[in-house]
Structure 1
Amino acid sequence: MDAKPWLPFYPPEVAPSYEYPKHNLGLFLVTSAQKYPNRPAVYFMGKTLTYKQLLEASYRMANALRGKGINKGDRVAIMLPNCPQVVISYFGALLSGAVVVMTNPLYMEREIAHQMQDSGAKAIITLDHFVARVEKVQGETELKHIIVTSIADYLPFPKNLLFPIKAKKQGPLPVIHYREGVYPFKKLLEQALDAPVCESVHAEKDLALLQYTGGTTGVPKGVMLTHYNLIANTLQSSMWCYKVEEGKERYLAALPCFHVFGLTVLLNQAVYRASELLMVPRFEPKMILDLIRKKKATLFPGAPTMYIALINHPQIKDYDLSSINACISGSAGLPVEVQDTFEELTKGRLIEGYGLTEAAPVTHANPIWGHRKIGTIGIPLPDTEAKVVNPDTGDEVPVGEPGELIVKGPQVMKGYWKRPEDTFDTLRGGWLFTGDMATMDEEGYFRIIDRKKDMIIASGYNIYPREIEEVLYEHPSVKEAVVVGTKDEYRGETVKAYIVLKDGAAPDPAGLEKFCRKQLAAYKVPREFVFRDSLPKTLVGKVLRRKLLEEEEEGKPTA
């Protein structure tokens, strides 16, 4: 069998192999700012930063971090929604030689505590609205510095003055007590030098990013991604989108940059191509449609739920979306009808791809302007090898047969942070065992047939049942709990909890939901609670999730 049957389907413009530079990832920004100093780099709610301004602010952040004792290899957490500050913080940390720890702003105290404890982060850059959560767990961590910003910090006049008034209507504004160890973002930058700084790194060994994922076990692990991993994947995905013109594109940044998909295909790729990032702090269909109309976005990577929301918007016919040339959909399967409808509306191309955090993340994609196959994740990117193997023996299976997808390439992680056993299980002989079941056809196009055991993907977020179950088990009325993902037309999947109550306890779904909301990000909270007398189990007492899902699909009574 041809080792790479997909190569004949590469567009002529895409080479099967490239040379990837070995330098600090932050040099992407330095290079683009030197070439296009006055080109818009970031647009945010009416405010524009040029590449020159973005680089100067990033230099100031790098110098500020160094002034606080952050040295090469120290971890700096960034807990921000999409806004100019996330770009400044990210490149500032990279240029200083620090390792970035991207943290989901939706995380509650216990989730923040785990990530800070495990990573050993010394500093965190976050929004004023999240500071209370961080301060509650700071004593359990190595955090020495909290750098605080507000959405209003980078809004244009008069929005910057009106923002606090508008925010006040949604609840009391946070009161930040600035002191040693707690600093205002803008003031910190104003007081820092703007002298150029770019720490030299060993690109293939030195980490640029610790990105947390539950992987296949459900225990959150830090994926170690080097400067080289991220540079390679940025170039691989950029070359795939070969019609992109340097210094001319406008990327719609609706995917969160704290997610590795958004980080690579938006933040890194846009800056590498000297493009303009159109940033939105959260996905709201009308806001997105207005932004496309106003700023003529040309590239729009996203998750299926985003495209579903847009095509179903009641005013969709009133908007001209023809500026959009290409969209890569990831995080979950892309329904065919969504793809067809969105392409009809935009006259651009919407293709499905595949990746995982451990691969920085993109490994496969359908050719954007070439031979694509609906329902597949496409073919491996340049310099990426992929095979389908028997999950027990590791032997390659015949074409068309199901097995575990394994991948190899320059984007594959160094390993899991402080978890050598997990690294050994997942990386074998340079191959990354994805845990996803797939098939490959005779032309080298891959299809995912089942995803990682137990993992739920709702609106593009990876949700690990074990974490939710642990919270449920803390409730005084819960005897047993198991969490599964069930099909949902909008979110892809939604979270459902099966509960066995302790003797004498009464079903209280509202109480359980409230209990979960205090400890879990909103997207992890079960949307439905089913109370049962018992749960199906194996002889050794392991709950059979698959059995629950089968009952769900067959519509059997669940009591």
Structure 2
Amino acid sequence: MLNLSIVLEDSARENPDRTALVFGELRLPYSLVDTVANQVANLLVSRGIGKGDKVALACPNLPYFPFVYFGILKAGATVVPLNVLLQSREITYHLEDSEAKALFCFEGSPELPLGERGKAGFEGAANTEHFFVLPATPFATESEYGETIWAALDGVSGEFQTVQTSADDTAVILYTSGTTGQPKGAELSHQNMLMNAMVSDEMFPRAEGGDAYLAVLPLFHSFGQTVIMNAGFRRRGTIVLMPRFEPGPALELMRKENVTLFAGVPTMYWGMLTKIHADGDEVPTSLRVAVAGGASSPVEVLKDFETTFGVGILEGYGLSETSPVASFNQPGKPSKAGSIGTPIWGVEMKLIDGEWNTVEGEGPGEIAIRGHNVMKGYYNRPEATAEVMNDGWFRTGDIATRDADGYYAIIDRAKDMIIRGGFNVYPRELEEVLMTHPEVSLAAVVGVAHDSHGEEVKAYIIRTPGATVTEEQLVAWCKENMAAYKYPRIVEFRDALPMTATGKILKRELR
């Protein structure tokens, strides 16, 4: 018997009155979160949903997310978290591909019409039988989109005996854009998810008076789910929910709620630093651990953060397919800026070539991973699974080097690499150099089609406030600071760059 819901149940049993969730003025104790999750489990069972069934959840960082997530797990079913930015057609695709029996969907807001999209997506999926609305108004029992969760839970018992699941049963199906084609669902077992939450929790020392985590990474994404929600619940911490990242309000919440642990993507750190330097926002003093992942942090941002906050950013690495954490700059070992650290406990990493041969020494090579964190496979996709799995090893599509101490450093996604005139150009390396220019605030480098070179190197730049550098000046500066085959011949200034819901820069929209 192993069920991921134990991270909530144990904490609710041991510390029922401790605050589990903070959302605006709401402060919800562990006992309440567990009780509502039990009600959700009872509701699912009453509608004929149980062990092995899939249930989709489309919801931003609101208390509903853990209520429903753990309710689904308690019922022995599998959670299918959906990105809240999906359009109706994409929601239908995910429901059909995962064979979901039900969808819990946030009602949404004028800025994010999720209820409308979710309802249309549900109607397009013939085999999804149940649609539950998570209303925008707390405890509302009616919604234009259908049955609300509060109406459905009326009179339902808050006691539930968690269904027995085994370590290898599927707990979560996480959809990943992958490198090509339609999104695929990575099947992660209870053991995958629980071990990853445990190792993530054990990695960081606990605060004397208890920890507070700022949850601004989307919980529907593996990073927020494992490192913030599941690890945070396991250590009986308080999860401060923030549905949308904005630098000012994030800093304010950190100060107000004495946040001790923050996990974010590099653009979030960049945003907070920009806010502090430009508007003189006060630096929170409670922060003890800062974790980054999702993309490589520019070294300039790492330096600036440590100087400003007095806390170094620990960079880690992982993918949806690895639950997600695979390696980390771990406390107690020297931290190396610009590296993704060493494999976490119980996980092995190596470098391979295109034919799965091991690459010795420092590489470069493609990272392959083996351990308790590697997915069972892509749901209903044996061919796609066979392409990335070999004898327990999972190939990541990320190119890295490894130093003498065993620390890995990502050079780039294999697919982001630019081939200019037969030379391999790694955009990340150029972005690092560009960000050392005093008038460059953020940089994204991509390859664009070129008649004679195959690809040409182009840089998109957000300038620092008040900067006057021109495209010609920046190209000339690059020419002096980078090899002739590498430097960007084209520079375009932008006020903003397209980003995913998790804050990664969308290179494909820039190409």
Q: Using structure 1 for the length normalisation, give the TM-score.
A: 0.74
Please name the residue that 2:101 is paired with. Answer: 122
Determine if the alignment matches structure 1 residue 196 to structure 2 residue 160: yes
Please name the residue that 1:478 is paired with. Answer: none
Report Cα offsets for 1:142-169 as digits up to 9, x if no partner.
2211111233317xxxxx9xxxxxxxxx
Range moving further from structure 2, 414-423 or 331-340: 331-340
For the 8 Å contact 2:105–2:133, the answer to whether it is kept is yes
Determine if the alignment matches structure 1 residue 294 to structure 2 residue 256: yes
Please name the residue that 1:133 is paired with. Answer: 117
Determine if the alignment matches structure 1 residue 431 to structure 2 residue 399: no
Determine the C-alpha separation between the residues in 2 that align with 1:357 and 1:455. Answer: 21
Structure 1 unaligned regions, length at least 5? 1-21, 155-159, 161-174, 457-483, 499-534
Determine the C-alpha separation between the residues in 2 that align with 1:218 and 1:64. Answer: 36
Gap change, CA 1:495 and 1:176, over 3 Å in 2: farther
Gap change, CA 1:431 and 1:546, over 3 Å in 2: farther
Report Cα offsets for 1:173-232 as digits up to 9, x if no partner.
xx9336xxx31122222332111231101112x100010012233431000000000011
Counterpart of 2:415 in 1: which secondary structure?
Answer: coil
Determine if the alignment matches structure 1 residue 553 to structure 2 residue 488: yes
Determine if the alignment matches structure 1 residue 325 to structure 2 residue 293: no
Counterpart of 2:137 in 1: which secondary structure?
Answer: helix
Determine the C-alpha separation between the residues in 1 that align with 2:128 and 2:445. Answer: 34
The one-letter code sitting in structure 1 at the alignment partner of 2:115 is V
The one-letter code sitting in structure 2 at the alignment partner of 1:421 is E
Please name the residue that 2:422 is paired with. Answer: none
Q: Following TM superposition, by how much is the alpha carbon of 1:454 offset from its aligned partner in structure 2, in angstroms? A: 4.5
Query: Residues 439-454 of structure 1: matches in 2 within 5 Å?
Result: 439-454=401-416
Count of aligned pairs between the two proteins: 444
Q: Aligned match of 2:233 in 271, 278, 281?
A: 271
Determine the C-alpha separation between the residues in 2 that align with 1:195 and 1:537. Answer: 67
Gap change, CA 1:199 and 1:492, over 3 Å in 2: farther
Gap change, CA 1:494 and 1:446, over 3 Å in 2: closer
Please name the residue that 1:176 is paired with. Answer: 143
Report Cα offsets for 1:342-372 as digits up to 9, x if no partner.
2233222311111011100010111235301
Q: Aligned match of 2:220 in 255, 258, 261?
A: 258
Please name the residue that 2:469 is paired with. Answer: none
For the 8 Å contact 1:74–1:99, the answer to whether it is kept is yes
Determine the C-alpha separation between the residues in 2 that align with 1:432 and 1:350. Answer: 27
The one-letter code sitting in structure 2 at the alignment partner of 1:24 is N
Please name the residue that 1:187 is paired with. Answer: 151
Please name the residue that 1:43 is paired with. Answer: 22
Counterpart of 2:488 in 1: which secondary structure?
Answer: helix
Determine the C-alpha separation between the residues in 1 that align with 2:160 and 2:446. Answer: 48
Counterpart of 1:152 in 2: which secondary structure?
Answer: coil
Report Cα offsets for 1:272-309 as digits up to 9, x if no partner.
11110000111111111111111100000110111111
The one-letter code sitting in structure 2 at the alignment partner of 1:101 is V
Counterpart of 1:437 in 2: which secondary structure?
Answer: strand
Query: Residues 63-462 of structure 1: matches in 2 within 5 Å?
Result: 63-129=42-108, 130-141=114-125, 142-153=127-138, 176-177=143-144, 182-204=146-168, 206-241=169-204, 243-245=205-207, 248-314=210-276, 317-392=280-355, 394-454=356-416
For the 8 Å contact 2:445–2:458, the answer to whether it is kept is no
Report Cα offsets for 1:397-417 as digits up to 9, x if no partner.
221121111011101000000
Gap change, CA 1:494 and 1:401, over 3 Å in 2: closer
Q: Following TM superposition, by how much is the alpha carbon of 1:67 offset from its aligned partner in structure 2, in angstroms? A: 1.3
Gap change, CA 1:336 and 1:99, over 3 Å in 2: same
Counterpart of 1:438 in 2: which secondary structure?
Answer: strand
For the 8 Å contact 2:275–2:281, the answer to whether it is kept is no
Range moving further from structure 2, 38-47 or 141-150: 141-150
Determine the C-alpha separation between the residues in 1 that align with 2:230 and 2:270. Answer: 26
Counterpart of 1:225 in 2: which secondary structure?
Answer: strand
Please name the residue that 1:507 is paired with. Answer: none
The one-letter code sitting in structure 1 at the alignment partner of 2:121 is V
Determine the C-alpha separation between the residues in 2 that align with 1:110 and 1:493. Answer: 30
Gap change, CA 1:113 and 1:133, over 3 Å in 2: same
For the 8 Å contact 2:450–2:456, the answer to whether it is kept is no
The one-letter code sitting in structure 2 at the alignment partner of 1:332 is A
Determine the C-alpha separation between the residues in 2 that align with 1:544 and 1:355. Answer: 31
Report Cα offsets for 1:101-125 as digits up to 9, x if no partner.
0101111122112111101111111
For the 8 Å contact 2:352–2:368, the answer to whether it is kept is yes
Report Cα offsets for 1:50-78 as digits up to 9, x if no partner.
00011001101111111122121111111
Determine the C-alpha separation between the residues in 2 that align with 1:278 and 1:403. Answer: 39
Gap change, CA 1:56 and 1:212, over 3 Å in 2: same
Q: Using structure 2 for the length normalisation, give the TM-score.
A: 0.81
Determine the C-alpha separation between the residues in 2 that align with 1:249 and 1:455. Answer: 40
Gap change, CA 1:387 and 1:188, over 3 Å in 2: same
Structure 2 unaligned regions, length at least 5? 109-113, 419-426, 460-484, 493-509
Gap change, CA 1:247 and 1:112, over 3 Å in 2: farther
RMSD value, Cα: 2.9
Determine the C-alpha separation between the residues in 2 that align with 1:303 and 1:251. Answer: 15
The one-letter code sitting in structure 2 at the alignment partner of 1:87 is P
Gap change, CA 1:375 and 1:101, over 3 Å in 2: same
Counterpart of 1:300 in 2: which secondary structure?
Answer: strand
